[in-house]
Amino acid sequence: MIANKSVNRQIVLGSRPVGAPTADNFRLEEREISTLEDGQVLLRTQYLSLDPYMRGRMSDAPSYAAPVAVGSTMVGSTISCVQASRHPGYQIGDKVLAYGGWQDYALSDGQALTKLDPKMNHPSLALGVLGMPGFTAYMGLLDIGQPQAGETVVVAAASGAVGSVVGQIAKLKGCRVVGIAGGDDKTRYVIDELGFDACIDHRTTEFALQLTKACPKGIDVYFESVGGAVFDAVLPLLNTKARVPLCGLIANYNDTALPHGPDRMGLLTRTLLTKRIKMQGFIIFDDYGSRYPEFFSQMSQWVNEGKIKFREDIVEGLENASQAFIGLLEGRNFGKLIVHVANA
Ligand SMILES: NC(=O)c1ccc[n+]([C@@H]2O[C@H](COP(=O)([O-])OP(=O)(O)OC[C@H]3O[C@@H](n4cnc5c(N)ncnc54)[C@H](OP(=O)(O)O)[C@@H]3O)[C@@H](O)[C@H]2O)c1
């Protein structure tokens, strides 16, 4: 489907999912582009970031951020181009990082926009390695994980936007790094391209045994993004004084009830107590927003020097965003998931 120039295609939340989202929970609508008022800019979406947190916004369960209302446009970060401006700070052609949402065009009053360097020849990196996921990896690992040279760091969702960066930073810090990922292609990529020491496929029946073998000295830092069966395998391997940055729990995002099986709360709390483990959740911009410049400067240098590699999974067309997002929750993405909406 090709975007009509005077029409704004928007993907709205059609209904709240119960369990895993389906195509029926989304609706593509077409509306006229609103008229610009003084102090506003009209943004043309070039790239839309798809991220796991959006599953939380589809639900009205209590969370750290308000849900998307049913019938409203799905939220999300975008790389956008200023197409018209009645704002003194922005000119036509400026490229910005915005919170434009799942749509072709967005109006903005200029707040919450970040101008991108016009010379930036790969602007979508501001949604990935140089943006929110990279920042999450950097702060979660370094501030909460505090990895020391020689320690063993285990990284969940290791081929993804956050995990891929976590493991590479841990390697730069001199750690032994073991990734966890789904399937041969991802595990091979994590070892061969990203330089992790090992990567274990969480989909195999021998997962827990292989993880144990890959961590002969136990685990000092576990970067948690998954939960569920992956955490069950990690827990007994955690060393005394281990640190667990609790970044995400994607295996549970579609849950409608507590997991089946025996209650493991006692096992968890006993392990945390007796091994004096620090497990800390964090929400990246709420907890670390002021440190973004430090991150951006360091990560830009690492990326330019080729010390941190990245992979993008680019889906063509806004109309394909819903299916791509559903796939993200099933592990069908391979790298930072981004929708290419339009050329600059
Ligand atoms: N706290 C924060 O501020 C913050 C900020 C950003 C992201 N996060 C969290 O960080 C995590 C990773 O985000 P991302 O953007 O980097 O996504 P991503 O890793 O690029 O993509 C998600 C990956 O999660 C894995 N996955 C999905 N379901 C799984 C399951 N049941 N068991 C094991 N693995 C599963 C899949 O990889 P495999 O195919 O390898 O299984 C999938 O590709 C998410 O939990 C997200 O919510 C938190």
Three-class DSSP category at 99 = coil
Does position 168 have pLDDT exceeding 90, yes or no?
yes
pLDDT interval class at 34 (50, 70, 90): confident
- Residue 168 Cβ inside 6 Å of ligand 1? The answer reads no
Side by side, the strands of the sheet bearing 238-246 are 198-201, 176-181, 152-155, 219-223, 238-246, 278-281
Q: If we measure between CA atoms, which residue out of 321, 328, 334, 304 comes closest to residue 254?
A: 328
CB atoms within 10 A of CB 167: 28
CA distance 206 to 210: 6
Predicted confidence at residue 57, as pLDDT, reads: 97
> What's 155-211 look like in SS3?
ECCCCCHHHHHHHHHHHHCCCEEEEEECCHHHHHHHHHCCCCCEEEECCCCCHHHHH
Predicted confidence at residue 13, as pLDDT, reads: 98
Instruction: Using alpha carbons, list the distances in angstroms from residue 122 to 63, 79, 113, 128, 304.
Output: 33, 11, 18, 11, 12
- Ligand 1, atom 46: nearest CA belongs to which residue? 248
Provide the mean pLDDT of the chain. Answer: 96
Predicted confidence at residue 201, as pLDDT, reads: 98
- Ligand 1, atom 38: nearest CA belongs to which residue? 182
Average pLDDT over residues 154-176: 98
CA angle 277, 240, 157 (to 5 degrees): 60
Predicted confidence at residue 260, as pLDDT, reads: 85
- Residue 58 Cβ inside 6 Å of ligand 1? The answer reads no
- Amino acid type, 122: H
CA–centroid distance, residue 289 to ligand 1 (Å): 21
pLDDT interval class at 121 (50, 70, 90): confident
CA–centroid distance, residue 188 to ligand 1 (Å): 18
Instruction: Using alpha carbons, list the distances in angstroms from residue 327 to 39, 84, 169, 280, 334.
Output: 38, 34, 27, 28, 10
Name the DSSP class of 109.
-
CA–centroid distance, residue 181 to ligand 1 (Å): 10
CA–centroid distance, residue 41 to ligand 1 (Å): 33
pLDDT interval class at 186 (50, 70, 90): very high
- Residue 80 Cβ inside 6 Å of ligand 1? The answer reads no
254 CA to centre of own chain = 16
CA–centroid distance, residue 3 to ligand 1 (Å): 31
pLDDT interval class at 4 (50, 70, 90): low
CA–centroid distance, residue 343 to ligand 1 (Å): 28
Question: pLDDT above 90 covers what percent of the chain?
Answer: 94
CA distance 146 to 141: 6
- Residue 123 Cβ inside 6 Å of ligand 1? The answer reads no
Best residue for ligand 1 mutational test, from 162, 201, 338 (most atoms within 8 Å of Cβ):
162
Per-residue pLDDT tens digits for 239-275: 999 999 999 999 999 999 988 889 999 999 999 999 9
Average pLDDT over residues 102-112: 96
Predicted confidence at residue 167, as pLDDT, reads: 98
Predicted confidence at residue 5, as pLDDT, reads: 62
Does position 326 have pLDDT exceeding 80, yes or no?
yes
Does position 230 have pLDDT exceeding 60, yes or no?
yes
Average pLDDT over residues 208-220: 98
Three-class DSSP category at 63 = coil
Pairing of the two strands 336-340 and 312-316: parallel
Best residue for ligand 1 mutational test, from 144, 222, 225, 249 (most atoms within 8 Å of Cβ):
225
Average pLDDT over residues 62-80: 96
- Ligand 1, atom 7: nearest CA belongs to which residue? 133
- Residue 200 Cβ inside 6 Å of ligand 1? The answer reads no
Predicted confidence at residue 6, as pLDDT, reads: 79
Average pLDDT over residues 47-71: 96
What does pTM read for this prediction? Answer: 0.97
- Ligand 1, atom 20: nearest CA belongs to which residue? 160
- Residue 57 Cβ inside 6 Å of ligand 1? The answer reads no
